[in-house]
Amino acid sequence: MEEIDLSELRLIALSLGGQVEKFRERHVVQQLLSSLDKKPRIKLLRGFRGVGKTTAMLQTFVKNRERALYFSADHPIVKSYGLYKTGKMAVKNGYSLLFIDEVHTFPEWRAEIKALHDEFPRLVMIASGSAPLALIPERREELISLHEMDFSEFVLLKSGKRMAAGEEWRDEEKTLEFTARFQEITGLFGAYCRVGGFPFSLEMDEEKAMEGIYNSIRKSIREDAVFFLKMSKEKVFAMENLLNFLATSKPGELSITSLSSVLRISKTVVYEIIDALSAMEIIRVVRPYAGGSAFVRAEPKILFFHPNLRYAICRQLGKKPETGAIREELAVFGFAERGWKVYTIKGGKKSPDYIVEKGEEKLVVEIGGEGKSTAQLKRYEKGLLIRDHQLLILASKSSKV
C-alpha cells in the first residue's frame, strides 16, 4: 500500500480543534461522546447547512485527540487517495476514531466507509454532511440529527447563562413565574426568533446572519437538489418561488391545486418539490389528524422548519414576516424537538391549530398572541392556548441546560 503522509491532515485537525475549544458546546457534543463506545460503529451526523456540525465534530475530536483523526472528505489528499486508503493509513498510524466531515462530497463514500468498518472491527467513524438528502442511515449506521438551536442553547452559547426550562409552558401562571425569574434572558428571545437557531449568528450582526441563512437555503437548493435529486433548472426555480410564496403567506393549509396554479407547474412537480424541501429540512409538512381516505384527501399545512428561514427569505424580498406564521413555526419546532408528533385538525374554519401527541398523551393546542381567546378550545377536553411567553419555554427543549 502506498504510504500517505497524514501530517498535513493532522496539523489541520489540531489547528481547527484549537480554534473551537473556546466555544461553548452544543448538547450534541455530549451525545456524540456518549455514543463513541456503543454500536453501531458508524455514526452519521446530519443537519442543515450552518447548524454547527463541523464545530461539534471538532469539539468531540479535541476530547479524543490522542486516538482520533479529523479530516474533510473534500481535502485534496483525501480526494486523491480516497476515504478507504486514507482511513486505512490512519488505522496503521494508531488512530481508532475517525471524524470525516463533508462526507457527502465524496462520490463513493458509503462503500469505502463500509470497507473500513468491515476490515477494522475496533474502528469507530463519525461522518457528517450538510446535505440531509445524502445521509440516509442504513443497518450498520446510527443517525444523529442536529437541528437549529433551541432557545435554551442559544442563551447558553450567547451569554453562558443556564435556564431550567421544563414543562412550565403548559401552565400560564408557571410561565409568568418563569419569565419573571429569567427576565434578563427572556430579552434575547426576539433575536433568537430572527437568527438564533444558527450558531454563526452569535458572532455577527443580524443582517449578516440573515444573509448567511439565506445563502444556506439557496446553496442547498441549487447544489444539493441538483446533485442528489437531479432537479432541473426549472424545478429549482419552482422551489425558490414556492419558498418565496410561503415566506410571504399567512399560515394555513396550502392547496396543491392553488400552488400548481400560482407556480405554473403541474401538481406532480408540486408534490416532488415539497418532498425535496422537506427532506432538506427547509420546510416542515404537517399532516391532518385523520386516517384512511380523509388523510389521503386532506391538504397538509406547510411551515418553515424553523422561523429563522422565513425571516431570511423575507429580508431578501424586502417583506415583513407574518407574526402568526412565526408563532406557529416556533410552536411546531418546539413540540417536535420535545418529541411530540404534530398534526393539523380537520374541520371548520374555527378549529384549533394542532393536535399533538406523545406516548399516551394528546393535547389540542391553539397558538396566539395576548388577544387570543380560548373560544376554539371549548369543545375539547384537553385544550391549551399557547401565548408568546409560553412559546419561549416550549422552544427551550432541555429540562436542565
Match 425571516 to its residue by C-alpha cell.
Answer: 311
The backbone region for 264, taken as left when phi is positive above 0, alpha when psi lies in -120 to 50, beta otherwise, is: left
Round to whole Å and give the CA distance between 112 and 228.
19
**Read out DSSP for 223-261?**
IIIHHHH---HHHHHHHHHHHHHHHTS-SSBPPHHHHHH
115/397: higher pLDDT: 115
pTM of the entire structure?
0.92
Burial of 211 (0-12, 13-18, 19+ CB in 10 A): middle
Q: Tell me if 6 sits within 8 A of 64, measured CB to CB.
A: no
**What is the per-residue pLDDT across 378-391, written as a single tens digit (0 to 9) for each?**
778 788 889 888 99
Distance CA 311, CA 306 (A): 9
Q: How confident is the model at residue 297 (pLDDT cuts 50, 70, 90)?
A: low
- 399, pLDDT greater than 70: no
Ranking 111-120, 164-173, 332-341 by mean pLDDT, the lowest is 164-173
Which three cell numbers, joined as nine digits, stand for 255? 392547496
| Cell of residue 131, nine digits | 446535505
| 22-45 residue pLDDT tens | 899 999 999 999 999 999 999 999
The yes-or-no verdict on residue 295 having pLDDT over 50 is: no
